[in-house]
Every structure is written in structure tokens, then in C-alpha cells.
Amino acid sequence: MPLLVGTNTLSGLRQGEIMKARRFTARLTMAVAMAAGFLGLSTPTASADSVVSRIDVYSPSMDRWIANDVISPAGGGPAPTFYLLTGVGGGEDGISWFNNTGVRDFFDDKHVNVVMPVGGKFSMYTDWNADDPVLGRNKWQTYLTKELPAAVNARYNTTGVNALGGVSMAGGPVLDLAIQSPGTYRAVGSYSGCPRAGDPLGQAAVRSMVEILGGGNAANMWGPWGSPQWAAHDPLINAEKLRGTALFISTGNGLPGPVDGINSLAMAAGVVPGAVLEGITNMCTAALQGRFGQLGIPATFSFRPEGTHTWGLFEADMRASWPMIAGAIGA
């Protein structure tokens, strides 16, 4: 039982495809690295009515305590839970939904528990096959689908009904978590992510985050490239398994605009890498939309006519997704 303390097949690949994947990796890595310090754009405002707390949940699978920021309604009976995952730094770098958006104000008058874990940097929020010398033990699928929900349901007044949202690095994994744990989440919001892993471009995207930025070894995660696990964790390949889940999948187009909330020259310095990164997520999202269309899977796709990889865009899309998510979970 988790404890909670309320406190604060790659053979035969054409040479052209290989070179394309390498160029993709280089562009993506540069964009992510340059944008890393650009994501913290807005300052959250404290809410007045909801209850804001930080809880530490012990994870037996990782043998450590995980901090989680929680916004819970002040009253009104049991409420569903919306889990929100952040980007490549896992919130351990101080960049997160809780720190860089107005989630506290937005959810202040809404009957839902919002849980934002702090941790999981460079992990793809998945269960790794082996401990990594740099990134340690990562069993985030187990934590997010079993350990954390059990602890939250024990501590808070919940209905046991869940939704999941994730941005940037987490944009693909939130869809994968719904695939790997059917029935755990009634709704999923994927914001500015790249939901692919089983092709050369997907591999490049994953390895740029895990290996180049994080210093880990992706073979410790899903085995060597080309092993079945890479395909098994690809939402594009496994799209059929998302049928029946309420889905909101969004992206900007890489062109800066008012949605980014850029109001100074210092912030504008991050536009170029953010534009490159959002252009890549736009491509990934379009591919997923095409796949869903082929299969006849209903989903809401949002392609904004502006937006770089910024918290202004992320928050706007999360807010836009909320009516659909709230309807699916009874919030």
C-alpha cells in the first residue's frame, strides 16, 4: 500500500530515413535545450477558495517519496481528479503547471481535485526496464496509474474517476499511459507533445530528451531501439486502444502570437527554439489526427494558427480542453 503524508524492427531502414532522423534529432535537441529556460513565462496568482496543499506519496516501486502539488475544492461532496504532468524537467527544475500558469485561479471555482506530481525528469513517465546510472530508478507508469491514485483517493474526497493531462515531454506519455492502463482515465488532454516512438523520428524525439538532454540511456527504458517495447509505447501505432477515451490533442504552429504571452525582449529570445519545437509537435499531432481519421476514432484536435512552445500556449489549450474533460469525468 502506498503511504501518504499530507504536508507541504529497424532492419532494412533506408539511408535517407536515417539521415532524416539524425537531422530531426539535432533540431529537436537544440530547440529543447534553448527553450528550457524560456518556459516560465507567467506568474500564478494564489486562489482564495480552493485548498492548495503539497503531499508526499511513498512509491514502493521506486523506493522514494514523491512530492505532489494539489488543488482541491473546499467542499461540496466527492470530486473527480485531474492529474497534470509537466515537461522534460518533471517540475524538479521549478518549471511546472503549478509554478508557471494560473491553474490555482482557474480551478478555484471548479469541483475537481487537481494533482501535479513533482518528478520524472527525462523519464517519459514510463516504467523503465532497468535502473539507469544517471537517471536512477523510474517506474512512473506504476506510480501514476496505481500508487498515486490509491494515495489520493485515501487522502481526499474523490469519486475515483480520473482524467490525465500532459504537456511537451508528457504530451505523448499521457496517451501511452491511457493505453497501458485501460480504464484508469476517462479523459486525456495532450498539449504540444509528440505522440510517437516506434519510427525513426519518434525514436529521435525520445532519445533527444532521455539521452542528449538527460544524460540517460534509453536502452534502459524500453530496450535497444527496434525492440517490441518501442512500438508498444507508441500512441500512433496503438491508436485503436484509445477508442472510448475522451481525447483533446492540441498544438500551436510555431508562429509567435498573443497566445504566447511574450511581453519583453528577454522572453522573446526564446521564440526561435520554441517555434522549432512547436513546429515538430504540430507535425506529430497532424500524423496522429490522420491515423485517428483512418480508424474512425473520435477525438478533439486543436491546431492553433499561432503559438510557440510556451506556457501561454500550454495554459490556453488546457483551459480550452477543460469543458470536454469536465464533461467526461463529471466535474
Range name among 15-19, 56-60, 96-100, 245-249 with the lowest pLDDT average: 15-19
**Mean per-residue pLDDT of the chain:** 86
Q: Does residue 21 form part of some domain?
A: no
Q: How confident is the model at residue 257 (pLDDT cuts 50, 70, 90)?
A: confident
Whether 30 maps to a domain, the answer reads no
Residue with more model confidence, 19 or 277: 277
Q: What is the pLDDT of residue 255?
A: 87
In a domain, 15, yes or no: no
Per the structure, the count of domains in the chain is 1
Residue 75 domain boundaries:
51-329
The pLDDT value recorded for residue 52 is 96
Rounded to two decimals, the pTM is: 0.85
Buried residues in 179-191 as b, exposed as e (16+ CB within 10 A) = bbbeebbbbbbbb
**Could you tell me if residue 272 is inside a domain?**
yes
How many angstroms separate the Cα of 191 from the Cα of each of 1, 14, 16, 60? 32, 32, 30, 30
Give the model's pLDDT for residue 96.
Answer: 96
**Given this model, what pLDDT does residue 279 score?**
83
User: pLDDT band for position 76 (50/70/90)?
Assistant: confident
CATH number of the domain encompassing residue 124: 3.40.50.1820
pLDDT of 270: 52
pLDDT at 271: 57
* pLDDT at residue 263 tops 70: no
Q: What is the mean pLDDT of residues 194-202?
A: 90
Look at residues 120, 126, 125 and name the one whose alpha carbon lies nearest to residue 90.
120
Whether 200 is covered by a domain: the verdict is: yes
In a domain, 67, yes or no: yes
- CB-based burial of residue 9 (10 Å sphere; 0-12 exposed, 13-18 middle, 19+ buried)? exposed
Question: Does position 321 have pLDDT exceeding 60, yes or no?
Answer: yes
Q: Using the predicted structure, report yes or no on whether residue 73 has a pLDDT greater than 60.
A: yes
Task: State yes or no: pLDDT of 45 exceeds 70.
Answer: no
Per-residue confidence band for 272, with pLDDT thresholds at 50, 70 and 90: low
Which pLDDT value is given to residue 288?
96
The answer to the question of residue 283 being in a domain is yes
Residue 203 has pLDDT above 70, yes or no: yes
Confidence of residue 46 (pLDDT cuts 50, 70, 90): very low
The dihedral sign for the CA sequence 214, 220, 224, 228: negative
One-character DSSP codes across 219-279: HHHH-STTSHHHHHT-TTTTGGGGTTSEEEEEE--S---GGG---SHHHHTTHHHHHHHHH
Is 94 domain-assigned?
yes
Task: For residues 209 and 196, give the distance between their C-alpha atoms in angstroms, rounded to a whole number.
Answer: 13
Give per-residue pLDDT as tens, 81-137: 999 999 999 999 999 999 999 999 999 999 999 999 999 999 999 999 999 999 999
pLDDT-derived band at 20, boundaries 50, 70, 90: very low
> What's the confidence (pLDDT) of residue 280?
85
Enclosing H/E stretch for 57: strand 51-59
- Residue 269 has a pLDDT of 52
**What is 71-124 written as a DSSP string?**
EE-SSSS-EEEEEEE--TTTTTTS-SHHHHS-HHHHTTTSS-EEEEEE--TTST
pLDDT higher than 80, residue 35: no
